[in-house]
Amino acid sequence: MTQSTGSAAVIGGGPAGLMAAEMIAQAGFPVHLYDAMPSVGRKFMLAGKGGLNLTHSEPYADFLTRYGPTRDDLTPFLDAFGPADLRDWAAGLGIETFVGTSGRVFPSEMKAAPLLRGWLRRLRQAGVIFHTRHRWLGWNADNRLLFTTRSGTVETSAGATVLALGGASWPKLGSDGGWVSILTEKGIPITRLRPANCGFDVGWSEHFRSRFEGLPVKPAAITFTDASGQEYGQQGEFIVTATGVEGSLIYALSAPIRDTIERGGAATIHLDLAPDWSEARLTERLGQPKGKRSTAAHLKRTVNLDGVKSGLLWEFLERESFADPVGLARSIKRLPLPLIAPRPLAEAISTAGGIAFSGLNEQLMLRDLPGLFCAGEMLDWEAPTGGYLLTACFATGRAAGLGAAEWLQNILDKATK
């Protein structure tokens, strides 16, 4: 396979790679996009099953805080292409968006497919050539890009290359972290990949698991204090799984919980199973005469607590605790839930860790490998669900694509002098 040094190779067909390809093609340079899967945008399509949460409408200053310690690294790219820009870009594809009750932004059709179809059509019209079932292997001795395909190994060269290979979550969709060893051998600084927006193991009793696996706990609130004493709080819902807990409420605090487990071997969160009730009101109601009712019936009648919420109390409290209205009310408002370990990286929604920003310039080009740009989830950042992940992938893909186009223009300028 032969490719001109005046063209670009984009490796990875997720949002970051597609956006990089669009920027390079708009600048007038040939683009070849490679993806290991039979089709591009597979994880993007999976995200669309839940409505495709593109971005978030909260005030921009609040939006930036969702990126935690990597906020300063990402801010220049988000300043250049933030939530409002992403909505305008989607509108340019004929995809109108709306703001949900939670502030999250969705396509009006609540689907990823129409957006992806329109985007791919525009990219093909711009001249982008797609090569699927091409898994990147690195470089050969002549510094040409190597790919394995169904027909064997192929090689090519390009004037600029953009890597947008994702993290290591959902490997069956193409993001398997295989690039880590390739870049590590080149001396590129890479922070260890870890699960983000993930569930956690609890170690349920068989009785609890068999009765409540798969059921939601809602409404509920979580409070958590990390090893440094920083407090976190969130209200929403989560799901009981066979091994522990997952869901939006858990994902929102997964980063500090994961970090605490890594440092100390375990973490304890506290559940408020009645966030709309005060502890005093719970105490008063639970103190009403029980009569001949069972404890379960008393909980249901007095404070409307039954099912999985009642099951959580029985899972972690001693039987005699149910006879003390004061202590029981306290436990309903602050039930300790010990978390043993995060679920494996392959099960996580996203990945923490990746290529360190210290190894990249302001255009996301690797300082030690000129002409090689990186974007998306393979960079060392993380964010909660809510549109923050996709927005940063689009923004960094755009920046890398613009950087690659400028690099190609410099090559062209030098060649014509």
**Residue 284 burial (CB < 10 Å; 0-12/13-18/19+)?**
middle
> pLDDT at position 401, please?
98
What are the distances in angstroms from CA 271 to CA 230, 275, 318, 331, 335?
Answer: 17, 9, 17, 9, 5
Task: Out of 220-224, 260-264, 289-293, pick the least confident.
Answer: 289-293
Q: Are 132 and 188 in a shared domain?
A: yes
Among 288, 315, 342, give the residue marking a domain's end: 342
How many other CB atoms sit within 10 Å of the CB of residue 138? 14
Q: Are 15 and 137 in a shared domain?
A: yes
Tell me the pLDDT tens digit for each residue of 94-116: 999 999 989 999 999 999 999 99
Does residue 84 sit within a domain? yes
Q: Are 354 and 292 in a shared domain?
A: no
Domain interval for residue 311: 200-342
Residue partners of 171: CB distance under 8 A and separation at least 6: 177, 346
Share of the chain above pLDDT 70, in %: 99
Closest CA to 79 of 405, 404, 396, 415: 396
87 half-sphere exposure, CB direction, 13 A CA radius: 16
Tell me the pLDDT tens digit for each residue of 175-214: 899 999 999 999 999 999 999 999 999 999 999 999 999 9
Does residue 3 sit within a domain? no
pLDDT of 154 higher than 60: yes
What confidence tier does 3 reach under pLDDT thresholds 50, 70, 90? low
Type of residue at 312:
L
Closest CA to 363 of 20, 39, 61: 20
Q: Are 336 and 357 in a shared domain?
A: no
Residue partners of 207: CB distance under 8 A and separation at least 6: none
> pLDDT at position 107, please?
95
Token pair of 139, please?
């470089």
Residues forming beta bridges with residue 104, ordered by sequence position: 56
Does residue 255 sit within a domain? yes
pLDDT of 13 higher than 80: yes
Does residue 78 sit within a domain? yes
What are the distances in angstroms from CA 49 to CA 107, 236, 264, 271, 287?
Answer: 12, 20, 36, 29, 46
Looking up residue 162, the CATH number of its domain turns out to be: 3.50.50.60
pTM score, two decimals?
Answer: 0.92
> pLDDT at position 4, please?
65
Does residue 265 sit within a domain? yes
d(CA 316, CA 313): 6
Q: Give the pLDDT mean for 219-224.
A: 96
d(CA 274, CA 220): 6
**Residue 280 backbone dihedrals phi, psi, to 5 degrees:** -65, -40
Q: Are 208 and 77 in a shared domain?
A: no
Q: Are 282 and 318 in a shared domain?
A: yes
> pLDDT at position 51, please?
83
Q: Are 110 and 137 in a shared domain?
A: yes
Helix axes 15-26, 113-125, angle to 10 degrees: 30
Token pair of 215, please?
């059921």
Among 317, 342, 367, give the residue marking a domain's end: 342
**What mean pLDDT, rounded, does the chain reach?**
95
Q: Are 364 and 272 in a shared domain?
A: no
Share of the chain above pLDDT 90, in %: 91
Closest CA to 127 of 33, 17, 255: 33
Tell me whether strands 145-149 and 341-342 are parallel, antiparallel or unpaired: unpaired
Which 8-state DSSP code applies to residue 377? G
Token pair of 399, please?
């920046």
Q: Are 13 and 162 in a shared domain?
A: yes
What are the distances in angstroms from CA 337 to CA 204, 265, 321?
Answer: 11, 15, 16
> pLDDT at position 57, please?
97
Tell me the pLDDT tens digit for each residue of 47-90: 777 789 999 999 999 999 999 999 999 999 999 999 999 999 99
pLDDT of 160 higher than 70: yes
Tell me the pLDDT tens digit for each residue of 365-400: 999 999 999 999 999 999 999 999 999 999 999 999
> pLDDT at position 383, please?
95
Q: Are 284 and 180 in a shared domain?
A: no
Strands (E), 74-144: 97-99, 104-107, 129-131, 135-139
Among 342, 362, 382, give the residue marking a domain's end: 342
Does residue 278 sit within a domain? yes
**Residue 388 backbone dihedrals phi, psi, to 5 degrees:** -70, -35
Q: Are 374 and 338 in a shared domain?
A: no
pLDDT of 2 higher than 80: no
d(CA 108, CA 339): 38
Token pair of 288, please?
């009403």
d(CA 349, CA 391): 15
What confidence tier does 30 reach under pLDDT thresholds 50, 70, 90? very high
What confidence tier does 279 reach under pLDDT thresholds 50, 70, 90? very high
> pLDDT at position 280, please?
97
Does residue 2 sit within a domain? no
Residues forming beta bridges with residue 34, ordered by sequence position: 11, 131
Q: How many independent structural domains does the chain possess?
A: 2
CB distance 404 to 374 below 8 Å: no
CB distance 316 to 336 below 8 Å: yes
Closest CA to 74 of 357, 402, 370: 357
pLDDT of 1 higher than 70: no
Tell me the pLDDT tens digit for each residue of 308-367: 999 999 999 999 999 999 999 999 999 999 999 999 999 999 999 999 999 999 999 999
> pLDDT at position 39, please?
95
Q: Are 80 and 129 in a shared domain?
A: yes
Does residue 1 sit within a domain? no
